[in-house]
C-alpha cells in the first residue's frame, strides 16, 4: 500500500459474521503514521481505521513493525530513547499526538498487555488490579473493591482467585497472570485495549481462555492484538492487517484476508511461502 | 521457508483427484460400450468397479481433512483443499451415473435395440469431453478452459431434450417399445447429469483460482 493512500473498507465483503448488524464506528484512526528509532524508520506512513467493538489483528513477520505500530497507539513508542513518531493517531477524533495531550492520560484510555505476563511481583492479586486505580487517586476502599471485583469478573479470573485476593500475584499460573494483567488494564476503564502477542508464552488451553475472553470483551472495548499466530487472528479478529517492512500491505475482514487475500505478498505470507 | 512437504502432499492429492476423475471417465466409456454392444458382462464390471471410485473419494476426503487439521492452510491452499473436497463428490456422482447406465443395460438385456443409437453416444462423448476438460482445468488452474467447458453444457442439455422428445414419439407410436425407451431416457438423463457435475468442476476450479464463486449452470 502506498504512503498517504487511506485504507478504505471494501464494499463487496461477505456478510459479517457478527450476529448484530450494528453500525460500525471508527474508534481509532491512524493517518500517515511514521515511527523512527534514531535514523532508522520502522513505519513508513500507515493509514488504518480501527473500528469500535471489534477485534483488529496485526500480523506480519518479525521486524515488520507491528509491535512498533501498536506502541504508537498509546504513545509508548516515544519512551524509547531516540525514538520518535510522525503522523496522526485520532482517538474518537482527537489526535493523541497534538500538543498538550498528556501521554499518561492516553495510556489510561488505551491500555496495553504484553507478551509475558507482567504482574507486579511484590503485590497481592488485589493490589495488582488496584494499582492503576490507586495511581489515579482512588482511595475509597469500597470503590477499589468494587472495581477490582468487576475487572476480575471481566477478565474471567474472579472465580479462580476470589478466595485468595491477598495471595501474591506471582503464585498464579502464566495464563492466570495474563488474565490478571488484563484485569489490571480494565480496572482503569480504558476504551481501547492493545495486546502484544498476549498468548505467545501460554499453553493452548490458557491461550484459548484468553481468546474467549477477548471475544467477550470486544462487546465493550476496541481491541487491537498483535499476534504471530495467524490461526489466532483468523479465529478471533474481525479484521486483520498485514504488515511487511514497516508498511501496511493489506487490511480487510479476516474472513476475506485469510481466504482470498488480494495482495500476492499477503498470500505468500499466510500460506507460509515466506516469513 | 518451508512447507515444502505440505506443498508436495497437496500436489499428490491433486493427482489423486485426477486419478479418480480418470477412473470415472473410464467407467462412463465402459458403460457406453456395454450399451452399444449389449454386453452384460461389461456392464457388470462397471457396477463392480464403482466401489473403487467410492473408495478413492473417501481416501481423498480423509487426506483433505487431515491436511486441514494438521497444516491449517490459508488462502489458495485452503481454497484448493476446499475445492477438492467438493469436486470429489461430483466425481463420485458421475461414477454413480456410469453405474446407472450399466444397470439400464442390465435391465434391457439382450433384446435387439429399438433404434440405432446416435445421439446418446454423442451425449456421452460430450459429457466425457467436459469431464476431461474439467480435470485438465483443475490440474492446470486454467479458468479459461473451465469456462469454455461449462459452456458446452448447453449443447448437452439441448441434445438431451432432443433425445427425450424422440424417444417419447417412439413410445407414442409403438407402446411395445416403452420399456426399452424408458431405459434409454434414463441413460440420457444420466449423461445430462454428468454435464451438470462437470460444470460444478468448472465452478470450483474458478473458485480455487480466483476465490470467487460463480454460477455457470444457467
Grid coordinates of A171:
503464585
**B102 contacts B47 by C-beta, under 8 angstroms:** yes
| Angstroms from A274 CA to nearest CA on chain B | 5
Beta strand pairing call for A239-244 and A247-253:
antiparallel
Residues in chain A: 275
**A26 contacts A54 by C-beta, under 8 angstroms:** no
The distance of Cα A116 from the centroid of its chain, to the nearest Å, equals 14
**Residue for grid cell 473451465:** B146
- In order of their start, the domains of chain A are 26-270 (3.40.50.300)
CA gap B8, A51 in Å, rounded: 40
Q: Edge-to-edge strands of the sheet including A40-51?
A: A40-51, A26-37, A83-91, A94-95
User: Between A18 and A38, whose confidence is greater?
Assistant: A38
Grid coordinates of A242:
498485514
Per-residue pLDDT reduced to its tens digit, A31-58: 999 999 999 999 999 999 999 999 999 9
CA gap B108, B105 in Å, rounded: 5
- Residue A9: what pLDDT? 42
- Residue B113: what pLDDT? 85
Per-residue pLDDT reduced to its tens digit, A97-118: 999 999 999 999 999 999 889 9
Per-residue pLDDT reduced to its tens digit, A157-177: 999 999 999 999 999 999 999
User: Would the CB atoms of B75 and A270 count as touching at under 8 Å?
Assistant: yes
Is B148 at the interface with chain A, CB within 8 A? no
- Chain B positions in Cβ-Cβ contact with residue A275 (cut-off 8 Å): 1
Percent of chain B past pLDDT 70, that is, above it, reads 99
| Angstroms from B66 CA to nearest CA on chain A | 16
Say which range, A200-204, B131-135, B150-154, has the weakest mean pLDDT.
A200-204
| Angstroms from B7 CA to nearest CA on chain A | 10
**A7 contacts A47 by C-beta, under 8 angstroms:** yes
| For residue B47, pLDDT beyond 70 | yes
- Chain A positions in Cβ-Cβ contact with residue B75 (cut-off 8 Å): 258-261, 266-267, 270-271
Q: Which residues pair with A28 in a beta bridge?
A: A50, A91
User: Would the CB atoms of B74 and A273 count as touching at under 8 Å?
Assistant: no
User: Would the CB atoms of B78 and A259 count as touching at under 8 Å?
Assistant: yes
User: Would the CB atoms of B1 and A274 count as touching at under 8 Å?
Assistant: yes
- In order of their start, the domains of chain B are 4-210 (1.20.58.220)
Q: Report which secondary-structure segment, H or E, holds B179.
A: helix B178-210
- Residue A274: what pLDDT? 77
| Angstroms from A200 CA to nearest CA on chain B | 18
Per-residue pLDDT reduced to its tens digit, B53-108: 999 999 999 999 999 988 889 999 999 999 999 999 999 999 999 999 999 999 99
Grid coordinates of B126:
460430450
Percentages helix, strand, coil for chain B, rounded to the nearest 5? 85, 0, 15
The distance of Cα B139 from the centroid of its chain, to the nearest Å, equals 16
CA gap A79, A71 in Å, rounded: 10
- Cβ-in-10-Å burial (0-12, 13-18, 19+) of B2 comes to exposed
CA gap A95, A30 in Å, rounded: 9
Task: Tell me the pTM.
Answer: 0.81
Is B78 at the interface with chain A, CB within 8 A? yes
Select from A50, A57, A12 the least CA-distant residue to A31.
Answer: A50
**DSSP alpha helices (H): ranges in chain A?**
66-72, 103-109, 125-135, 141-154, 158-161, 174-187, 204-217, 230-236, 254-257, 264-270
Select from A89, A120, A118 the least CA-distant residue to A106.
Answer: A89
Amino acid at each position: 500500500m502506498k504512503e498517504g493512500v487511506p485504507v478504505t473498507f471494501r464494499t463487496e465483503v461477505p456478510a459479517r459474521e457478527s450476529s448484530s448488524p450494528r453500525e460500525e464506528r471508527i474508534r481509532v484512526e491512524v493517518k500517515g503514521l511514521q515511527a523512527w528509532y534514531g535514523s532508522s524508520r520502522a513505519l513508513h506512513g500507515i493509514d488504518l481505521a480501527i473500528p469500535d467493538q471489534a477485534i483488529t489483528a496485526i500480523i506480519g513477520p518479525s521486524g515488520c513493525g507491528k509491535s512498533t505500530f501498536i506502541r504508537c497507539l498509546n504513545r509508548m513508542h516515544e519512551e524509547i530513547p531516540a525514538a520518535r513518531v510522525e503522523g496522526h493517531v485520532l482517538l474518537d477524533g482527537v489526535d493523541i499526538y497534538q500538543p498538550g495531550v498528556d501521554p499518561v492520560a492516553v495510556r489510561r484510555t488505551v491500555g496495553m498487555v504484553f507478551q509475558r505476563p507482567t504482574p507486579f511481583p511484590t503485590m497481592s492479586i488485589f493490589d495488582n488490579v488496584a494499582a492503576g486505580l490507586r495511581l489515579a487517586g482512588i482511595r475509597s476502599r469500597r470503590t477499589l473493591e468494587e472495581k477490582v471485583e468487576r475487572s476480575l469478573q471481566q477478565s474471567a479470573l474472579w472465580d479462580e482467585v476470589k478466595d485468595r485476593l491477598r495471595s501474591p500475584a506471582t503464585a498464579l499460573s502464566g495464563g492466570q497472570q495474563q488474565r490478571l494483567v488484563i484485569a489490571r488494564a480494565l480496572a482503569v476503564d480504558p476504551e481501547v485495549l492493545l495486546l502484544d502477542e498476549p498468548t505467545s508464552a501460554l499453553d493452548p488451553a490458557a491461550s484459548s481462555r484468553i481468546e474467549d475472553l477477548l471475544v467477550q470483551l470486544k462487546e465493550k472495548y476496541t481491541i487491537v492484538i498483535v499476534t504471530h499466530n495467524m490461526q489466532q487472528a483468523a479465529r478471533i479478529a474481525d479484521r486483520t492487517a498485514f504488515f511487511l517492512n514497516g508498511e501496511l500491505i493489506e487490511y480487510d475482514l479476516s474472513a476475506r484476508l485469510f481466504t482470498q487475500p488480494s495482495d500476492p505478498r499477503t498470500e505468500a505470507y499466510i500460506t507460509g511461502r515466506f516469513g | 521457508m518451508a512447507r515444502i512437504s505440505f506443498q508436495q502432499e497437496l500436489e499428490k492429492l491433486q493427482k489423486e483427484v485426477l486419478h479418480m476423475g480418470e477412473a470415472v471417465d473410464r467407467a462412463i466409456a465402459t458403460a457406453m460400450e456395454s450399451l452399444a454392444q449389449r454386453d452384460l458382462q461389461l456392464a457388470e464390471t462397471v457396477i463392480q468397479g464403482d466401489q473403487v471410485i467410492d473408495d478413492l473419494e473417501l481416501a481423498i476426503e480423509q487426506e483433505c481433512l487431515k491436511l486441514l487439521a494438521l497444516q491449517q492452510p490459508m488462502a489458495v491452499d485452503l481454497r484448493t483443499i476446499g475445492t477438492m473436497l467438493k469436486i470429489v463428490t461430483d466425481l463420485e456422482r458421475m461414477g454413480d451415473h456410469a453405474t446407472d447406465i450399466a444397470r439400464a443395460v442390465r435391465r434391457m438385456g439382450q433384446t435387439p435395440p429399438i433404434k440405432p443409437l446416435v445421439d446418446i453416444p454423442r451425449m456421452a462423448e460430450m459429457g466425457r469431453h467436459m469431464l476431461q476438460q474439467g480435470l485438465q482445468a483443475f490440474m492446470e488452474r486454467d479458468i479459461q478452459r473451465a469456462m469454455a467447458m461449462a459452456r458446452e453444457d448447453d449443447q448437452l442439455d439441448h441434445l438431451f431434450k432432443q433425445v427425450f422428445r424422440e424417444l417419447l414419439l417412439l413410445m407414442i407410436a409403438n407402446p411395445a417399445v416403452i420399456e426399452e425407451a424408458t431405459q434409454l431416457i434414463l441413460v440420457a438423463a444420466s449423461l445430462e447429469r454428468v454435464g451438470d457435475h462437470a460444470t460444478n468442476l468448472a465452478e470450483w476450479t474458478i473458485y480455487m483460482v480466483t476465490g470467487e464463486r460463480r454460477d455457470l449452470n444457467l
